[in-house]
Amino acid sequence: MELPGLAFALWMFICLYVPVDGYPNGKVREACTSMIPCHGSSPQPSPEHTITVNGTEFKPGDNIEVHLFGPDFEGFFLQARDAEHLDSPAVGSFVLVDRRLSQLLTCGHTKNSAVSHTSKAKKKYVKVYWIAPGDAPKRVQFLATVVKKYRTFWVKIPGPIVSQPNALSSTTPLHATSEAISASHPISYLSKPFNASGCGSVKFCIRNPSNCDPESASCFFLSFQQEKSSVFIEMSGPSEGHLAFALSHDQWMGDDDAYLCVNENHRVHVSTAYLKGRSPPVLDSENALEDVSWRLADGVLQCSFRRSIRLPTYKGRFNLDSSYYIFLADGEASEGGRIYKHRRQPLITNGIYNVTGLPQDIGGSRSPRLIKAHGALMFVAWITTVSIGVIVARFFKPVWSHSFLFGKEMWFQVHRMLMLTTVVLTSISFVLPFIYRGGWSKQAGFHPYLGCTVMALTIFQPLMAGFRPSRHAPRRQLFNWFHWSTGTTARILAVVTMFLGMDLPALDLPDPWDTYTMIGFVAWHVSTDLLLEIHSYCLVRKVEVIEDDRVQILQSLTSAEAEGRLFKQIVLTIYVCGNVVFLIAFLAAINQI
């Protein structure tokens, strides 16, 4: 039975090896500071391309239309910087017009603070919008690096300088048109980002990650503050399209009271809506919201508004003095304000809350508890119990053949115990998504189909083992091959299924961390399997070259067995510890979402 172990190692490695690219074309974050492409040549002296804008002044929250054009070019890199300190980090954020030509990059700590090409296709013209941040310097200049061909490029082509009111200099060089961009309506503009002061004392707050600062570009924030007969609501989060929250009587979307902040042509439109099933929200013709304000800067969308605690004349609006599950979601939106389905699971509170009751500062989860339990049990089963059980059965028969546990050889009892544990864990985990979904999920792609296949093989394997022929029966060799191939197929499909499941919205583990960690586990198992396979081969060869003397053969066999036993036990100990490390990493990631 030397072949099956080696075949499995090769099969596992070939099936699950996944090549990983570094960055797609244009994602040149390493050039954020210098703006110099690593093309092995010097930049050209006289620029052929021009940057223009459609305004000369701006206020925080305003958007500036930026154009880059000239003779055919393959690549570009565009930033806005403090005009007085051009070596300083990028300022503000950009919004794309044509995603086929351009893409957003994050330089430093500012999200979407640069724009670059998406491919090497030739282009003559690029248009984007620059959003002025709340802490913008008085004067901002646009800079661009343009690549005509691989070794023909210009670095930091100077563009127009735009200034805040009363900050213009008479010597300011401008390459701008006479058309000025419209400013935000003063009533609807937030001059600064939200903060978490008062959370848990005077405000009911939901934050993700827990205790994050709403001024941060990675913080999702929702707060409710009661003011007499009304509630003042603040919502904030990293989004280029829309943010929304909903009040619900259960943890399922449908028949919910929703509130949306949508980026519509670089202005934020705030409205109420009613959710019916998984259909797009139905916007209300009449808006029950007052004191609406918004802010769009540094890749963060923020809006605030006020509504009465009770709205009896508005159909679909829930009373805010009752308890509900609270959803917080984000997603994309078109320039016309049409919203698209969110790509990941909404943040959902773990229980029902009354936002006008006792102020609290809570978090939430983007993965339901049943789905978390499903993922955790599958990781325990297929990363620890199965893997260790296979290694024991494959390599520890000669090591533990003379040791007995409950009347059976120790290797067999350990193998059987681990495999039965796998069957139990997999069976429990298998039913949890069906309990949560109330049936079959049509949104999970191939994951449930492969999962059902793995479950069938998991049940079939011990049933087949129950009819195992005796050790010297003619059909024993055939059984061994069926037993090995069924188990190996189940393990490979289980790993593939876990790869697919990790990126599903209901259990969206951090990407690309989850992929790299799973690849690391596969490599860890395959390398351990190969090491023990090579060791077994070398041990057999060592015994075969011994002289044909009975006493010497017996002495050498005893020595070889002792050497093999010690080596295998050391490898098994290290392997188990490694598996536990991988398991803890996955369980910790599940606990964080």
Domain ranges of the chain: 29-163, 188-365, 369-592
CA dihedral 97, 90, 116, 159 (to 10 degrees): 80
How many helices and strands, by DSSP H and E, does the chain display?
8, 23
CA distance 49 to 31: 20
DSSP H or E stretch at residue 11 = helix 2-16
Q: Are 522 and 16 in contact (CB under 8 A)?
A: yes
Q: Are 375 and 451 in contact (CB under 8 A)?
A: no
CA distance 160 to 52: 6
In this prediction the pTM is 0.58
- 208: β partners: 220
Q: Are 185 and 79 in contact (CB under 8 A)?
A: no
Confidence at residue 297, expressed as pLDDT on a 0 to 100 scale: 79
Q: Which CATH class is domain 29-163?
A: mainly beta
What percent of the chain is helix, strand and coil (3-state, nearest 5)? 35, 30, 40
Q: Are 66 and 78 in contact (CB under 8 A)?
A: yes
Q: Are 210 and 199 in contact (CB under 8 A)?
A: no
What is the DSSP secondary structure assignment for residue 353, as one 8-state letter? B
Q: Could you write out the DSSP letters of every residue in 438-501?
A: TS--SSSTTHHHHHHHHHHHHHHHHHHHTTPPPTTSTTHHHHHHHHHHHHHHHHHHHHHHHHHH
CA distance 411 to 322: 59
Q: Could you write out the DSSP letters of every residue in 95-132?
A: EES-TTTEEEEEETTEEEEEEEESSS--EEEEEEEEEP
Residue 560, burial from CB neighbour count under 10 angstroms (0-12, 13-18, 19+)? middle
Listed in sequence order, the DSSP H helices in 158-201 are none
- CATH number assigned to the domain with residue range 188-365, chosen from the 4 options 2.60.40.1210, 3.40.470.10, 3.40.605.10, 2.40.110.10: 2.60.40.1210
Half-sphere exposure of 333 (CA within 13 A, CB side): 26
Q: Are 142 and 51 in contact (CB under 8 A)?
A: yes
CA dihedral 429, 430, 434, 439 (to 10 degrees): 170
Question: Which 3 state secondary structure label does DSSP give 527?
Answer: helix
Tens digits of pLDDT across the chain (593 residues): 444 444 444 444 433 333 333 334 456 667 788 888 877 678 888 888 999 998 888 988 888 999 999 999 999 999 999 998 888 999 999 988 888 889 999 888 888 899 999 888 889 999 999 999 988 999 999 999 999 988 889 999 999 999 998 764 433 333 333 232 333 333 357 777 888 999 999 999 999 888 898 888 889 999 999 998 999 999 999 887 899 999 999 888 788 999 999 887 777 888 888 887 767 777 776 678 888 888 887 788 899 999 999 988 777 789 999 999 999 999 888 766 677 777 678 889 989 999 999 999 998 887 888 888 999 999 999 999 999 999 998 888 877 767 777 778 888 899 999 999 999 999 999 999 999 888 888 778 899 999 999 999 999 999 998 888 888 888 888 998 999 999 999 999 999 999 998 878 777 677 788 888 999 999 999 999 999 989 888 877 765 555 444 444 444 445 555 567 788 889 999 999 999 999 999 888 887 76
Q: Are 392 and 414 in contact (CB under 8 A)?
A: yes
Question: Which 3 state secondary structure label does DSSP give 576?
Answer: helix
**Phi–psi pair at 438, nearest 5 degrees:** 75, 20
- Are both 29-163 and 369-592 of the same fold? no
Residue 327, burial from CB neighbour count under 10 angstroms (0-12, 13-18, 19+)? buried
Count of beta carbons in the 10 Å neighbourhood of residue 277: 9
DSSP H or E stretch at residue 243 = strand 242-248
User: Using alpha carbons only, what angle is made at residue 81 by residues 80 and 85, rounded to the nearest 5 degrees?
Assistant: 165
- One-letter-per-residue 3-state SS of 295-350: EEECCEEEEEEEEECCCCCCCCCCCCCCCEEEEEEEECECCCCCECCCCCCCEECC
Q: Are 556 and 353 in contact (CB under 8 A)?
A: no
Confidence at residue 26, expressed as pLDDT on a 0 to 100 scale: 53
Interstrand relation of 204-208 and 361-362 (parallel, antiparallel or unpaired)? parallel
Nearest to 254 by CA among 325, 304, 312: 325
- CATH number assigned to the domain with residue range 369-592, chosen from the 4 options 2.60.40, 1.10.3470, 1.20.120, 3.30.420: 1.20.120
